[in-house]
Structure 1
Amino acid sequence: MPYSLKGRNVLVTGGSRGLGAVICEKFAAEGANLMINYASAKNKAEELAGKCTKDFGVKAAIVQGDVGVAADCARLVQETVKQLGGIDVLVNNAGWTRFAKFGDINDLSHDEWDKCWHVNVMSQLCLMQEVAPLFNANPDGGVFLISSSIAGISCAGSSMGYSVTKAAGVHMMKCLASTQGPKIRVNAILPGLLLTDWESIVQTRTKSRPLTIAGYEVH
């Protein structure tokens, strides 16, 4: 039987702009209610929530939080349940990187490596720990989706820290998928460069030098 999204409650982290905003609109178009997480772009989150409600007639709320902080991960799930009445799907789209010379192992600081790790890897665990009991209590279980990157399966990307942590995130997905079923379905999407908010960033940086992103050199 097809899994209908109509009336489902969906939390999208990093949902206020770029790929996250596209994900939110696609879910809303299928009739899903949304909790849109943002880190700092509150105005964009509010605009998107209003648009989804107006265009698709769904309930849409916003919540601030940093998925690199364990307590925030728990709060995002709790707020989703509080404001939407439950949670059926969690899309962990939030991620962090800083453009750096890929082969320079000193370009990223240890603090930046730590931030990559907490946002891109540990957030998966922290969110799953909070949402798993709720998914298991749902009659239809739940869906846990991870926005990864082809940088996680190639030695390339915006930085070595990003590539390494995206690879770890893919393995985390496999571990969660093999252990958290049968009611929790886990998967990851590994896109390349998407022409959303990243397009202007890439164009700005490539004016001065070629930039390799997820295995492709952009000039």
Structure 2
Amino acid sequence: MPYNLQGKNVLITGGSAGLGALLSTTFARQGCNVAINYFNRIEPAQKVKTECEALGVRAVVVKADMTDTTEARRAVQETIEKLGGLDIVLANAGWTRFSAWADLDSMTESEWDKCWNANVKVPKALLSEARSTFDDNEEGGCMITTGSIAAVSQGGSSMPYAVTKAAQLQLVKCLAVTVGPKIRVNTVLPGLLLTEWGLRYPEERIQQAKDAAVLKHETFLEDCASAFVMLAKNTSMTGMRIQVDAGLNVQGA
């Protein structure tokens, strides 16, 4: 039966900007208390916190570097302390740097490692730290990651990003069969999101992506956020991916 989001406690990593900010306010509208993770800029996080509180829920900010597993684990602990519990983790934060695929050395070894940490090791660490709390919850818990269609195609901001997002997709499946039956693990794979980050693509590249999509537009942020809500509520789905990309990569769906 559908999972009732009212009153649930949610940690949103990278929750102060872009899709993460929308996820914070979207789950607040569902009646969830939210922990908004940020790393560098507290002002946007405080703004999102105020918006969530205006919706009648509790909201806190949690500073943590989501390229570091120790920091990720601490963020879970701090969320539990500040909100009094934890029911849902939205592992939204990731890392990449725009770089040329044709140049196999355009990303350094340390940048490959940073991609691996952010996109694979940190989601695993978040669930590892939340697992005992989820298991103790009467209704269990769930984690949803923000993946990317780069995981199922050969494109994106960088080769390390595509490779590690593909690994994250496999991680979601492996975790799902490991931590059930009380914990669900799923992922959402967006296409082109015109966030602060997505708008760093050249205008020509953005238009090419829109033209290549079956629906001839970018992935709308609200549609993407709705997929997270659906997965959070659906108690019959785990180990699944929901691809929200305006038909940009139908073959990989």
On whether the aligned pair clears a TM of 0.5, the verdict is yes
Which residue of the partner structure matches residue 29 of structure 2?
29
The answer to whether the 8 Å contact 2:67/2:95 transfers is: no
Deviation digits for residues 52-103 of structure 1, max 9, x if unmatched?
Answer: 101x100000011012212111111111111100000000000000001123
Of all paired residues, the percent bearing the same amino acid is 45
Q: What is the alpha-carbon distance in structure 2 between the residues aligned to residue 83 and residue 91 of structure 1? A: 17
Q: What is the alpha-carbon distance in structure 1 between the residues aligned to residue 9 and residue 35 of structure 2? A: 8
Q: What is the alpha-carbon distance in structure 2 between the residues aligned to residue 69 and residue 201 of structure 1? A: 25
Superposed, 1:105-184 pairs within 5 Å as 105-184=104-183
**What is the CA distance between 1:39 and its match in structure 2?**
1.2
Runs of 4+ in 1 over 2 A off after TM superposition: 210-213
The answer to whether the 8 Å contact 1:103/1:160 transfers is: no
Unaligned runs of 5+ in 1: none
Q: What is the alpha-carbon distance in structure 2 between the residues aligned to residue 134 and residue 107 of structure 1? A: 41
The answer to whether the 8 Å contact 1:11/1:91 transfers is: yes
Whichever residue aligns with residue 132 of structure 1, its letter is R
Q: What is the alpha-carbon distance in structure 2 between the residues aligned to residue 196 and residue 58 of structure 1? A: 25
Whichever residue aligns with residue 4 of structure 1, its letter is N
**What is the CA distance between 1:177 and its match in structure 2?**
0.7
Q: What is the alpha-carbon distance in structure 2 between the residues aligned to residue 2 and residue 74 of structure 1? A: 28
Whichever residue aligns with residue 34 of structure 2, its letter is L
SS at match of 2:77: helix
RMSD: 1.7
Unaligned runs of 5+ in 2: 218-253
The answer to whether the 8 Å contact 2:5/2:30 transfers is: yes
Which residue of the partner structure matches residue 70 of structure 2?
71
Whichever residue aligns with residue 111 of structure 1, its letter is S
**What is the CA distance between 1:199 and its match in structure 2?**
4.2
SS at match of 2:190: coil
Tell me the matched-pair count. 211
TM-score (norm 1): 0.92
**What is the CA distance between 1:206 and its match in structure 2?**
4.1
TM-score (norm 2): 0.80
Whichever residue aligns with residue 45 of structure 1, its letter is A
SS at match of 1:167: helix
Which residue of the partner structure matches residue 235 of structure 2?
none
Moved more, 178-187 or 63-72: 63-72
Which residue of the partner structure matches residue 4 of structure 2?
4
Whichever residue aligns with residue 122 of structure 1, its letter is K
